[in-house]
Amino acid sequence: MLLVDGIRLPLNAQAEQAIEQAKRRCGLAHRADCSGEIHKVSVDARRGRVMLVYAVALALPQVAEEAAVAQRVQGVRLAAPQAFAIAPGAGALPGPVVVCGLGPAGLFAALELAEAGHAPLVLERGPDMAARRAAVEAFEAGGPLDADANIQFGEGGAGTFSDGKLTSRINDPLCGRVLERLLAAGAPQEIAWRGRPHIGTDRLREVFVALRERLCALGGQVRFGTTLTGLKTAGGRLVGVETTDGPLPCGVLVLACGHSARDTFRQAADAGVVLEAKPFSVGVRIEHLQRDIDAGLYHEAAGHPALPPGEYQLAARAGGRGVYTFCMCPGGTVMAAASEAGGVVTNGMSLHARSGPNANAALVAGVGPEDFGPDPFAGIAFQQLLERAAFAAGGKDYTAPAETAGSFAAGEGQLRLGSVQPSYPRGVRAADLGALFPAGIAGALRGGLAAFGRKLPGFDAPHAVLTGVESRTSSPVRMPRGEGLESLDIPGLWPCGEGAGYAGGIMSAAVDGIRVARQIAERYRPGAG
C-alpha cells in the first residue's frame, strides 16, 4: 500500500478528488487497477485559508510496483500492514494472573492475556458501567460522593467520562491494534481516518462494555466492587494479593490502578516498591462559547458543514514554567471529578456529537519535586492541598470556585458572567482562583492565558469562565520497571498505564497494557501456576 500525504483541497471538495489527485501525483491516473481510499483527513487553518488535508492510500496489484512508485515520487511512502503476534512463552506461571483496574490499560492487557490463554482475573474497585453512571449522575444532582464510584473509578477508568480522545504523542504500531479493537467493539468508523479521532463519552461507555464482554467470552473474569488492599510477597517475589473480598493467590499482577488510586500507591510502597516522584500539571478548566472558538480557529470559514467543532492545543512558557492546554472538549461540559471527600476536582467531557454550546479545556502549568519536595508522596499531598482549598472556596458542598478570565488576569476574584454560562453540574461560586495556587503557579497561568489569547483570538476574552481546580492531569508517581516492564523491586508485579506513570490518555494507556501483556505472554505458557 502506498500512502500519499499532504493532499490539500478546499472545504467543498469530495473524497474522490483527493484520490484522483493522489493518483496523478504518483503518475497512476491512467491505471484502472489502482484503487484508492482515504487514510486520514484533517483540517489546516494555519495559513489564512482553511483547507482539508488528506492522506490517501493507494494499492497496486504488485508490491514491487508500489515500491518503485515510493522510491520515485517524493512525499509518497510504502506502508505495509503491521501484523500483531505474540510468541507463546515456555516458562511455568508462578501463580494465577490478576489484573488490577479496568481502565484502558488494564482492559487491553487483560484482553491480550485472555487471547493468549491466560484467563486473567480483573479486579475493579468501582461498579459496572450502568451502576457507575447512576452514581455519577446522582452526585451531579447534589447527592453524596461515592469514593469508589465516580469520575475516576469504575468500569472504563477515568477516560470514560471524557471526550474519548484517541490522539497521542506516542508513535507506536500498537496504536493500530487499539483502533482495531475499538472498531470491533462498536466505536464510530471515523476514528480510522480522522486526523484527531475521538469517540465521545456516550459511545465510549458502550465500547468499554462490549470489550469487557469480549474479555469474559475469552475466559477472563471481572470482579466489580473489589479493591486491592495489599500485596503479599514471599522469597522476594509476589505470591498473592489482599482485597476487600479476601486474599487471593497471585503470581502475576498487572497493576493498572489509574492516576487517582492514592491508596494503591501506598500499598505498593508498603510492599517494597520504591516509588519516584513525577512531574505533573495543575490549573483550572477554561470555558468559551464553541462558536467563538470556531471563529478564532476557522475565521470566515466558521460554520462550514465540512468543518468539525474547533479544537485547540496550545503551549507556551510563562513564569519559567511550561503552560499548556490539555484534554480540550469541543461542545462539552466541565465535570465534577472528585474521588475523595472534602476535595473539588474538575475535568472535561464531550458527547460524540460535540454539540453543546460551550468548549472547555484544562489550562495548566507544570509542577515538579522542586514545588512540593522529593518524597514520592509529596505530589499527592500537593494535589490534595489544592483540592481541599477549592472545596473550601466553593463553600464546602462540592460547589466549584470560579472566576471570569478578565477578573483572573487582574487578580480580582470576581465572577462577572456574560455570554458563557458555566457548565459544572454542582454549580459554581465566585472565588479568587489565583489565591488557591502558589504565587508562581498562579502567575504562570495568567501568563499562559495572555499568551494563548495572542495565538487564538478570543481565548483570553474577559467573559471566559475559569473553574477550579484541575489537579489530576497525570499520575504524581512512577513505579520503576525494567526492560521487560516488570517491577524492579518485586518480581511478578507489572506496573502499567497512567497510575504507574507510563501513559497519559486512552490510547497510550491501552498501548502500555498491550505491551505489558505481550511481555507476560511471551515469558509464560498458559496454566494455573
268 and 292 part of one domain: no
331 and 437 part of one domain: yes
Contacts 24+ apart (CB under 8 A), 137-145: 139/336, 139/398, 139/426, 140/336, 140/425, 140/426, 141/425, 142/426, 145/338, 145/339, 145/341, 145/398
283 and 271 part of one domain: no
- Tell me what the pLDDT averaged over the chain comes to: 96
Any domain includes 510? yes
103 and 52 part of one domain: no
Any domain includes 364? yes
pLDDT bin (cut points 50, 70, 90) of residue 170 is confident
Contacts of 14 (CB under 8 A, 6+ apart): none
Any domain includes 102? yes
Helix and strand counts by DSSP (H, E) for the chain: 13, 23
Quote the CA–CA distance of 176 and 437 in Å, as a whole number: 40
Q: Is the pLDDT of residue 421 over 70?
A: yes
CATH of the domain at 65: 3.30.70.2700
Check residues 85 and 510 and name the one with the higher pLDDT: 510
Mean pLDDT of 173-189: 96
pLDDT bin (cut points 50, 70, 90) of residue 169 is confident
454 and 324 part of one domain: yes
Domain that holds residue 63: 2-78
pLDDT at 49: 87
Q: Is the pLDDT of residue 116 over 80?
A: yes
Cβ distance 159 to 505 under 8 Å?
yes
Per DSSP, 153 falls in state S
Cβ distance 453 to 428 under 8 Å?
no
Beta-bridged to residue 337, according to DSSP, are: none
pLDDT at 529: 56
| Core vs surface per residue 495-520: b (16+ CB within 10 A) or e | bbbbbbbbbbbbbbbbbbbbbbbbbb
What secondary structure, in 3-state letters, does 380-433 show? HHHHHHHHHHHHHHCCCCCCEEEEEHHHHHHCCCCCCCCCCCCCCCCCEEECCH
Helix axes 201-217, 104-115, angle to 10 degrees: 30
Any domain includes 526? no
Q: Is the pLDDT of residue 80 over 90?
A: no
Contacts 24+ apart (CB under 8 A), 7-10: 7/53, 7/54, 7/55, 7/56, 8/44, 8/51, 8/52, 8/53, 8/54, 9/51, 9/52, 9/54, 10/51, 10/52
191 and 65 part of one domain: no
The CB density around residue 300, as the number of other CB atoms within 10 Å, is 10
Any domain includes 466? yes
115 and 33 part of one domain: no
Any domain includes 83? no
Mean pLDDT of 308-326: 97
DSSP string, 31-59: -TT-EEEEEEEEEE-TTSS-EEEEEEEEE
262 and 285 part of one domain: no
pLDDT at 305: 95
Any domain includes 86? no
Contacts of 410 (CB under 8 A, 6+ apart): none
Of 43, 78, 113, which closes a domain? 78
Q: Is the pLDDT of residue 424 over 90?
A: yes
CATH of the domain at 163: 3.50.50.60
pLDDT bin (cut points 50, 70, 90) of residue 431 is very high
What cell does 293 get? 472558538
Cβ distance 505 to 165 under 8 Å?
yes
Q: Is the pLDDT of residue 38 over 60?
A: yes
Q: Is the pLDDT of residue 8 over 80?
A: yes
230 and 103 part of one domain: yes
Q: Is the pLDDT of residue 437 over 60?
A: yes
Count structural domains, the chain.
3
Mean pLDDT of 490-504: 97
pLDDT bin (cut points 50, 70, 90) of residue 528 is low
Q: Is the pLDDT of residue 82 over 90?
A: no
The CB density around residue 482, as the number of other CB atoms within 10 Å, is 10
Give whole-number Cα distances, 440 to 37, 237, 242, 246, 437, in Å. Answer: 51, 44, 42, 46, 8
Beta-bridged to residue 229, according to DSSP, are: none
Cβ distance 428 to 418 under 8 Å?
no
455 and 316 part of one domain: yes
140 and 285 part of one domain: no
Cβ distance 127 to 225 under 8 Å?
yes
Any domain includes 85? no
Check residues 169 and 247 and name the one with the higher pLDDT: 247
Give whole-number Cα distances, 446 to 13, 441, 449, in Å. Answer: 41, 9, 5
pLDDT in tens, 450-464: 999 999 999 999 999
8 and 135 part of one domain: no
Q: Is the pLDDT of residue 36 over 60?
A: yes
Mean pLDDT of 174-179: 95
Contacts of 512 (CB under 8 A, 6+ apart): 105, 496, 497, 502, 503
